[in-house]
Amino acid sequence: MSAASSPFDWKIRVYYEDTDTSGVVFYANYLKFFERARTEWLRSFGFQQQQLAETTGAIFVVKGTSVDYLSPARLDDELKLTVVVEKLRNASIEFVQEAWRLPSGNGAAGNNQEATLLARGRITVVCVDAASFRPQQIPAELLSRIKTAPGLPRQDAP
């Protein structure tokens, strides 16, 4: 499937615990931010990770990641995280995610008037059986909702 035209957005604030001693977000924390955004993206379809595991035996595990870091986020910055489905298959999803610093006079970055792209990641998740950790199909109802959501991919993957 091709990339979506309209990403899912989730906002967070950078807290002290997210930063290193210089007040800059520690690089690995972007993966945590992206994980939270994907969880909220899933929740926007009416699904919760625990509920999926309990009712279908399906859980999602990260198979691979790559992140390009473009500009630092700092303590008190407000970030917008985006989630776009790049490829949707029967048992896996490839996401493109971005972290943007939003304009504000409150963060350490000063009085920005434009959003700044901070990091872009590509994350592949695989649906697996919670007991065996063997790949399984994404539950049909969830797969259907993803396929019919506004701004998400419409064509079948090869």
Q: Which of 9, 18, 20, 68 is catalytic?
A: 20
Confidence tier at 2 by pLDDT (50, 70, 90): very low
DSSP secondary structure letter of residue 99: E
Task: Inform me whether the pLDDT recorded for 150 exceeds 70.
Answer: no
Is the Cβ–Cβ distance between 81 and 67 less than 8 Å?
no
Q: How confident is the model at residue 158 (pLDDT cuts 50, 70, 90)?
A: very low
- CA nearest 89: which of 39, 49, 143, 8? 143
**pLDDT tens digits, residue range 116-134?**
999 999 999 999 999 999 9
pLDDT at residue 58, rounded to an integer: 96
Counting Cα atoms < 13 Å in the Cβ hemisphere of 155 gives 7
C-alpha span between 51 and 78 (Å, rounded)? 30
The model's pTM: 0.86
Instruction: Count H helices and E strands in the chain, helices first.
Output: 3, 5
Whether 20 sits among the annotated catalytic residues: the reply is yes
pLDDT-derived band of residue 16, with 50, 70 and 90 as boundaries? very high
